[in-house]
Structure 1
């Protein structure tokens, strides 16, 4: 008897309708880490430099009456609809996030009940054998939940899993920090199913790395740069340059490890779907990956991107990218049966993961 293979049978996403262009930040007063405001007239230069460095020109924010579990529910509903399965046959509902539900009028993280429990309840799934839980793992959380699900499904003890990544980073960033322009809101989801095929398809391999000893603090929660702020909750902080260097040094190796475990070379890869953190950083990571294989020129179109218009929505970026790709919503991009896809992500922890997938 052959071992079951984990296949994606449905995808969905929730892209908030509220567009926030870079021009919206021109009225902001940005502060330096030491607590001093940047000199008058510097904001326009900061905003222009930001777009040059990151490639981000706009991002999406959730509506005032939405929280992360609302976005997760919408993405999950779409994924289930596209899969055509009965939600009662799900064995797992896993929601990856990092901050829970954060309302627009305050910045308290709400984790109880879990977001997965809230989504399962709203989907009206009565089956008590469908286990709902959350997974906080930084930006690679959704991909880590996919990896966990692969173990469940290949074991033969589970048949289907709904895996969602949802986040509202606009509610936890510091508006006085120029890094706040990176962050966005959104959700993406997949339905995974254990299937039997005569050839190797679906998830072929994965690799994970966690560097906490020297790098746990590269992304952290801390007070606002505006030391005089009356309402001063903890906000998301990033050591951007160090994080950039860490990602370039480590992500290509994890991707290579996953390919080696799948018995593939980089030349056999048709698409690389990487966490949409920073356009320039992702391009540099891809170049570094190809350099490891002795290839100087990266093939055109191998890495679809959405960060320029969706920003960085953490766990939501990769499943949203996949949903748009499979549904023909990215110009000039598509996937065909037999294509090999590499998923990769890096984020708080610091954690890195990669999955190799063959389209059935």
Structure 2
């Protein structure tokens, strides 16, 4: 077994802003109500002709420019998304071609909703640490605006679009992936879904609107109850304590969800990073966006430890404790 590390990061969000006052014109809501209950002020919305693959390409180009990297030696591409351009081909295959990544590279999409990026990162670690691959491009990206029902006031205030990308490369000194925890409770699959070929799950009839449907109350209770337990499992697996975690980066679902999770963990809320305030809930993109925001703001430094924790539809969870070993940036990041 070899070591693996995250060496570079990039991100992208669409230009169009959907602010809370815009939503006041669409459904019965207001800015104060939205901020009080979610912490969200804005979200970014992709153009009608802008898709998940487009966001991914832009995020990777941001990464390559900032860190002086090349995609010419990437040997695996993993994209975590719930909003692929097509059922098939994969987003990973599309961006492999558009970025000029060699034909010998593997390319695959992963579907684990809001836990997808951490699942993809966990998979990349396995590939690199085992010696099967040397340089894996991992993306979390979603265009949730394309599957959001803007007449449903309980969901349309939450979701936005974005993409984040990281490179996972070999580390000859030691493994920088310190511990993990994975979990799935398919018994709650009917609490967050978008119908496809089937219209029932676990014997429950689903609303066949073609849009995202969420039972926010049930998801909230599940996350607040189980995520702290999962975080402790990550730490046990790593032989670490919360005091050794510099940054906690949970999925940016709702600020009112992150607050009680931190309280139950007795972890300082000011050390939690999130991307929801100005980008909304971006599903698989929320964690890499939050990490990159921390780096852009000068908070997150190489050598620090970050605990990434994704949770959502499935009901799936994935947590990783990583020691960040990012290469030095050769160009400043563009403004998001």
The answer to whether TM tops 0.5 is: yes
Q: Which of the numbers 2, 19, 22 marks the counterpart of 1:21?
A: 19
1:60 aligns with 44
RMSD of equivalent CA atoms: 1.8
Deviations 1:189-232 (A, max 9, x none): 001101111xx55211111000002x111101269xxxxxxxx8
Report 1:34-183 matches (<5 A): 43-44=28-29, 48-101=32-85, 110-125=86-101, 127-178=102-153, 179-183=155-159
Q: CA-to-partner distance for each residue in 1:23-71, whole Å, 9 max, x for gaps? A: 1111224xxxxxxxxxxxxx246x5423211011111111232111100
What SS does structure 1 have at the residue aligned with 2:272?
A: coil
Q: Is the 8 A contact 1:201 1:359 kept in 2?
A: no
1:307 matched residue in structure 2: 276
Shift of 1:270: 0.7
Q: Are 1:343 and 2:316 an aligned pair? A: no
Query: Is contact 2:4–2:169 with CA below 8 Å preserved after alignment?
Result: yes
In 2, the alpha carbon distance for the partners of 1:123 and 1:355 equals 28
1:182, distance to aligned residue in structure 2 (A): 0.1
Q: Give me the whole-angstrom Cα distance separating, in 1, the residues matched to 2:302 and 2:107.
A: 31
Provide the rounded CA distance (Å) in 2 between the counterparts of 1:155 and 1:145: 15
- Report the Cα distance in structure 2 between the residues aligned to 1:121 and 1:222, rounded to whole angstroms: 30
Aligned position for 1:358: 323
1:243 is matched with which residue? 219
Deviations 1:222-256 (A, max 9, x none): 69xxxxxxxx8411010001100000111111111
Q: Is the 8 A contact 1:159 1:194 kept in 2?
A: yes
SS in 2 for 1:349: helix
- Contact in 1 for aligned 2:262/2:269 (Cα 8 Å): no
Whose Rg is larger?
A: 1
How far has the Cα of 1:334 moved from its partner? 1.5
1:72-125 deviation line (CA, Å, top 9, x unaligned) = 111122223344343221111111111212xxxxxxxx2322100110000012
Task: Give secondary structure in 1 for the equivalent of 2:125.
Answer: helix
Structure 2 alignment gaps of length 5 or more: 197-207, 326-336
| Aligned-partner Cα distance in 2 for 1:95–1:309 | 23
In structure 2, distance between residues paired with 1:196 and 1:233: 50
Q: Structure 1 stretches of 5 or more lacking a match?
A: 30-42, 102-109, 224-231, 291-297
Structure 1 ranges of 4+ moved more than 6 A: none
Contact 1:205 1:262 in 2 (8 A): yes
How far is 1:10 from its partner? 0.9
Following superposition, the deviation at residue 139 of structure 1 comes to: 0.8
Give the number of equivalent residue pairs: 313
TM-score, scaled to structure 1: 0.83
CA contact (8 A) 1:80 1:191 kept: no
1:279 to 246, 255, 258: 255
Superposed counterparts of 1:280-295, under 5 Å? 280-290=256-266
TM-score, structure 2 normalization = 0.89
